[in-house]
Amino acid sequence: MTPDGPNPELMQKKPRVKKNIPALPLVLIHDGGGTTAGFWSLGKLQRDVWVIHNPKFWSGASWQRGMDEMALHYLSLIRARGISGRIVLGGWSLGGFLSLAIARMIAALGKQDEGSLEISGLLIIDSPYFEPWYEQSPPVSQPLLPDMLPKVKQTYEKCDDLLSSWSLPRWGWDAMGGEPVTLRAGGNKHIIPHRAALYKPLDSDWVVKKTAEEPTTDRPGARIDMEDDRAEHDVEKLSPPMGILIRCVGRTPALDQGHHPCRVDLYRDSLTLGWGQGYEDYIKVVMDATNTHYTIFDRNNRSQIKHVTSLLNQALDIFDQRELGSMASI
């Protein structure tokens, strides 16, 4: 990651010995700090892996039109690098929100999309359900952040402005129309019904669990700022790609020993980190990870990085197996 370097940058290339084994390319988007440093600590993911950093990281400039502008620009960056076909899109924290916004833009274009880019699934790394802060502001503590470069800290601080008036994009249907989905994980086939998710706790086997959240009556609404004036498809016909959530089990320490949870932990006790409230059936797989939101990619903790790499490989294998099943049914 350099000011003049490629973006997205090819972090890993699919091994030649696995060239005949289907493996969906993966595109990962940075967190609120703007860098991709955490991703570079990962072990082998056995596929092409691209990472996107915040191109305004070095200048410190703001995104005047917020998250929509970022998502649209990142979509153009992906296309400019020649990434096409079916991919897994994902990100950590803020990157999870941007992934969802990009997926919505691609869905809105439909057959008008000239880039032949399709999102097979979304890999969400500890991104809790988002509600605009101007609509809900429960008391929260400021997080005790790990040591970081001043420029990274400055970029984190700009996240408040980015999210201050943004809302999650609106879809007309639940993922996969709310129908049961069959997935393979841990060597077994699992049928996940409506309002349920396939769950992998830290120390036990896969299990199907009902999601505890009561869905809201109104789906999240937001403008989708396409900038190019091309008409969207009828929103009522759109549904999000299936999401797999990597969920940290640890809670972020509060600055000055604050008594309230940090904002990233408001939904920490929820199986889906709160996504069941307004994005019913979007998250169909949940995998628990050790550590906390801000330390999941602790490069100084080799066992932690090995653990997270294993989780990502399991998640990607679920997407690959589902893709193979879809191809076989054609």
Domain boundaries, the chain: 9-328
pLDDT digits (tens, 9 = 90+) for 219-233: 444 344 444 433 455
Q: 262: pLDDT confidence band, cut at 50, 70 and 90?
A: very high
Backbone angles phi, psi at 208, to 5 degrees: -90, 125
Query: 1.10.150.120, 3.40.50.300, 3.40.1170.60, 3.40.50.1820: which CATH number matches 9-328?
Result: 3.40.50.1820
pLDDT tens-place string over residues 272-286: 999 988 888 899 999
> What pLDDT, in 10s, does the model give residues 35-53?
999 999 999 999 999 999 9
- CA 157/CA 168 separation, integer angstroms: 20
CA-based nearest residue to 143, from 66, 257, 306, 231: 257
* 82 — pLDDT class (breaks 50, 70, 90): very high
Q: What is the pLDDT of residue 74?
A: 98
The CA distance from 169 to 235, in Å, is 10
**pLDDT for the residue numbered 134:** 64
Per the CB < 8 A criterion, the answer to whether 194 and 180 are in contact is yes
Could you report the per-residue pLDDT of 179-214, keeping only the tens digit for each?
899 999 999 999 999 999 999 999 999 999 998 666
Residue 306: CB partners within 8 Å, gap ≥ 6?
43
Helices 66-80 and 94-109: crossing angle in degrees, nearest 10, is 70
Cα–Cα dist 248/235, whole Å:
32
Of 263 and 126, which is predicted with more confidence?
Answer: 126
Token pair, residue 239, equals 């549904």
311: nearest Cα among 245, 261, 235: 245
| 196-200/283-289 β-pairing | parallel
Q: Which amino acid appears at position 247 of this protein?
A: R
